Amino acid sequence: MNKSIIIGVMGGGKASPKDTNAAYRLGGLIAEQGWILLNGGRNTGIMDASAKGAKDHGGLTVGILPDDNPGRASKYIDIPVITGMGSARNCINVLTSHIVVACPGGAGTLSEIALALKFNKVVILMDFDVGKLFESYIKPNIKQGTLVYTKTPEEVIAYCKKLHIQKEGVLRNFDVF
């Protein structure tokens, strides 16, 4: 395996069929780029769907689990990282991802968006309107700590490419330009 980009996909443990379908397609597209998919690792909602999408398309999947055992891990996760730290693992999710994609979700997902922006990550919202709360993070030029709106998995991937994340530098520096 060559060094690769890690794309974090956040989103609800409970999710609508529309949202899980989109997450599945996103996972597949991430795999097709040769990127690693990272998520919260559980066998429900956006986590399970995005991991399945990646696996069905030959990808590698990493799940950062809140539990202290792998009992609730998605079967589509290759590398279950067992933290035993509950929601404190949300920090690890976003710190480890070169780019964070947020699908619709509840309070847990919102905490991950907030933490990602605090850690100066680019956060791409996929069909998820977070209202005016984070609007100060929407900037004319994409840079670290920026929030981006998209509607579809294809748009997410286009944005990731635009960020030139394939550069070697990304892996070491977490720089996106």
| Angle at the Cα of 144 from the Cα atoms of 135 and 52, rounded to 5 degrees | 85
Report how far Cα 22 is from the mean position of its chain's Cα atoms: 13
Q: Is 85 in the site for a second copy (CB under 8 A)?
A: yes
Residues in the interface with a second copy (CB under 8 A) total 49
Q: Does 21 bind a second copy (CB under 8 A)?
A: no
Residue 173 touches a second copy, criterion: CB under 8 A: yes
Among 32, 95, 138, 155, binds a second copy (CB under 8 A): 95
The candidate with the shortest Cα–Cα distance to 103, out of 149, 135, 163, 145, is 149
List, in order, residues 6 or more apart from 122 with CB less than 8 Å away: 99, 100, 142, 143, 144, 145, 146, 148, 163, 176
Using the rule CB under 8 A, is 148 a contact of a second copy?
Answer: no
Distance of CA 126 to the CA centre of its chain: 10
Site string for a second copy, 38-77 (x = CB under 8 A): ----------------------x-x-x---xxxx-x----
The sign one gets for the Cα dihedral 104, 30, 139, 120 is positive
4 binds a second copy (CB under 8 A): yes
Q: Is 168 near a second copy (CB under 8 A)?
A: no
- Segment contacting a second copy by CB under 8 A, of 16-24, 45-53, 149-157, 169-177: 169-177
How far is it, in rounded angstroms, from Cα 6 to Cα 62? 9
Q: Is 149 near a second copy (CB under 8 A)?
A: no
Selection from 130, 66, 93, 114 nearest residue 9 by Cα: 93
Sites of contact with a second copy (CB under 8 A): 1, 3-4, 6, 36, 60, 62, 64, 68-71, 73, 78-88, 90-92, 95-96, 106-108, 110-111, 114-115, 117-119, 130-134, 137, 171-174
